[in-house]
């Protein structure tokens, strides 16, 4: 069964990852379980223990800030002071352990969350220098490059993240989004044919939905991606929209999804089915889209 994720106020370090701003309905799949901190305290070195404690404190501070913000008691000055102390602790840890890749990675994530993206990616690049096998680092560097209009550089980092963690749905989603949003850049490069970009993007969304079928927004984006293919599997798309309608949480969402199903029916020549679906749409907010599809239906009938 597909369930919508619960939205949160803050993305916590080692608990969630940043996403492209084009992410549609909600935050995609939860961040990968694998992180830079040793999982077993008994096996930790002194530096690993120091990093684990820093990350735990970091998570606690963000969680407390989220609760205070929700209650209207957020103190920005106090939060800034806490973050400054945390940054000084990271600086001290790295001063004592100048090749500690996991610490550079965690510090880079923190700086990114605090809006210091340039400084954060500098730390991530150091992490990648000392340990090129951390998929989260590859993904975050890819995010940075994508957000700064460098998709041809970003794609290599996303592909590297997928190579290192092929079962993480977020990485496939990121790749699909990058290829879709920067389609023209990839085609202009001369290294990609238009059909190859569209197919690779669709495949990224398909794989993400396959790995996390309970994630409503991943399945939704996969269903949307059929529109971009030169020869879509309309039967498969219609089945997905049916699953999404069954999982939708409100009537307006169900009707919006039904509009997609009607569009798929029109594209695949199922005019009677499309007409029946459009007859069930009565939400005022969807009137314009409904009328547009009705006009398309009438044009198709006249042909």
Q: Over the stretch 87-138, which tens digit does the pLDDT of each residue have?
A: 999 999 999 999 999 999 999 999 999 999 999 999 999 999 999 999 999 9
Q: Is the pLDDT of residue 34 over 50?
A: no
Looking up residue 272, the CATH number of its domain turns out to be 1.25.40
Q: Is the pLDDT of residue 155 over 50?
A: yes
**What's the pTM?**
0.82
Total Cβ atoms within 10 A of residue 10: 16
Which of residues 90, 110, 132 is at a domain's end?
132
Residues 262 and 213 in one domain: no
Torsion sign across C-alpha atoms 87, 91, 92, 93: positive
Which of residues 132, 155, 182 is at a domain's end?
132
User: H or E stretch including 104?
Assistant: helix 101-113
CA distance 102 to 42: 18
Residues 109 and 149 in one domain: no
CA distance 223 to 253: 15
- 32 pLDDT band, cuts 50/70/90, is very low
User: Considering the domain boundaries, does residue 225 fall inside one?
Assistant: no
CA distance 253 to 247: 10
Average pLDDT rounded to a whole number, residues 266-278: 96
Residues 92 and 80 in one domain: yes
pLDDT at 301: 74
Q: Over the stretch 156-213, which tens digit does the pLDDT of each residue have?
A: 999 999 999 999 999 999 999 999 999 999 999 999 999 999 999 999 999 999 999 9
Total Cβ atoms within 10 A of residue 93: 19
Average pLDDT rounded to a whole number, residues 31-45: 55
Q: In sequence order, which residues have a C-beta less than 8 Å from that of residue 93 and are 6 or more positions away?
A: 47, 50, 51, 54, 100, 103
Per-residue exposure over 33-45, b if at least 16 CB sit within 10 Å of its own CB, e if not: eebbbbeeeeeee
Closest alpha carbon to 113 in 61, 37, 150, 170: 61
The DSSP secondary structure of 3-25, one letter per residue, reads BPPPP-SSPPTTT-----TT--S
pLDDT at 44: 82
Q: Is the pLDDT of residue 8 over 80?
A: no
Q: Which domain holds residue 201?
A: 134-217
Residues 153 and 200 in one domain: yes
Looking up residue 92, the CATH number of its domain turns out to be 1.25.40.10
Residues 154 and 96 in one domain: no
User: Considering the domain boundaries, does residue 171 fall inside one?
Assistant: yes
Angstrom distances, CA of residue 282 to CA of 52, 196, 242, 291: 54, 39, 18, 11
User: Considering the domain boundaries, does residue 145 fall inside one?
Assistant: yes
CA distance 49 to 40: 10
User: Considering the domain boundaries, does residue 68 fall inside one?
Assistant: yes
The lowest-confidence range among 34-38, 146-150, 159-163, 288-292 is 34-38
Which of residues 217, 249, 265 is at a domain's end?
217
User: Considering the domain boundaries, does residue 196 fall inside one?
Assistant: yes
User: Considering the domain boundaries, does residue 67 fall inside one?
Assistant: yes
- 42 pLDDT band, cuts 50/70/90, is low
In angstroms, how far is CA 285 from the centroid of its own chain? 27
Residues 260 and 283 in one domain: yes
Residues 259 and 291 in one domain: yes
CA distance 249 to 264: 22
Average pLDDT rounded to a whole number, residues 56-62: 95
pLDDT at 41: 58
Into how many domains does the chain fold?
A: 3
Residues 99 and 157 in one domain: no
User: Considering the domain boundaries, does residue 267 fall inside one?
Assistant: yes
User: Considering the domain boundaries, does residue 107 fall inside one?
Assistant: yes
Average pLDDT, the chain: 87
Q: Are 136 and 35 in contact (CB under 8 A)?
A: yes
Residues 195 and 205 in one domain: yes
pLDDT at 300: 77
Residues 128 and 141 in one domain: no
CA distance 65 to 76: 9
Residues 294 and 268 in one domain: yes
Instruction: Give helix then strand counts, H and E, for the chain.
Output: 14, 0
């Amino acid at each position: 069964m597909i369930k919508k994720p619960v939205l949160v106020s803050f993305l916590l370090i080692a608990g969630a990852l940043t996403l492209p701003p084009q992410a549609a309905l909600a935050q995609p799949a939860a961040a990968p379980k694998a992180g830079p901190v040793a999982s077993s305290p008994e096996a930790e070195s002194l530096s690993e223990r120091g990093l684990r404690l820093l990350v735990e404190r970091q998570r606690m501070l963000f969680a407390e800030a989220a609760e205070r913000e929700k209650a209207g008691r957020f103190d920005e000055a106090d939060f800034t002071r806490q973050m400054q102390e945390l940054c000084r602790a990271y600086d001290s840890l790295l001063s004592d352990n100048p090749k500690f890749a996991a610490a550079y990675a965690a510090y880079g994530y923190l700086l990114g969350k605090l809006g210091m993206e340039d400084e954060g990616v500098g730390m991530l690049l150091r992490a990648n220098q000392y340990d090129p096998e951390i998929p989260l680092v590859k993904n975050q560097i890819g995010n940075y490059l994508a957000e700064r209009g460098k998709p041809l550089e970003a794609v290599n980092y996303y592909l590297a993240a997928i190579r290192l963690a092929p079962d993480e749905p977020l990485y496939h989603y990121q790749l699909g989004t990058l290829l879709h949003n920067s389609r023209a850049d990839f085609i202009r490069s001369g290294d990609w044919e238009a059909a190859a970009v569209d197919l690779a993007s669709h495949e990224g969304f398909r794989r993400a939905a396959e790995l996390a079928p309970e994630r409503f927004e991943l399945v939704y984006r996969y269903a949307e991606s059929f529109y971009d293919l030169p020869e879509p599997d309309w039967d498969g798309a219609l089945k997905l929209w049916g699953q999404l309608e069954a999982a939708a949480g409100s009537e307006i969402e169900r009707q919006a999804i039904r509009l997609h199903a009607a569009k798929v029916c029109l594209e695949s020549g199922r005019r009677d089915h499309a007409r029946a679906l459009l007859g069930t749409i009565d939400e005022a907010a969807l009137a314009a889209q409904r009328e547009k599809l009705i006009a398309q239906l009438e044009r198709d009938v006249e042909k």
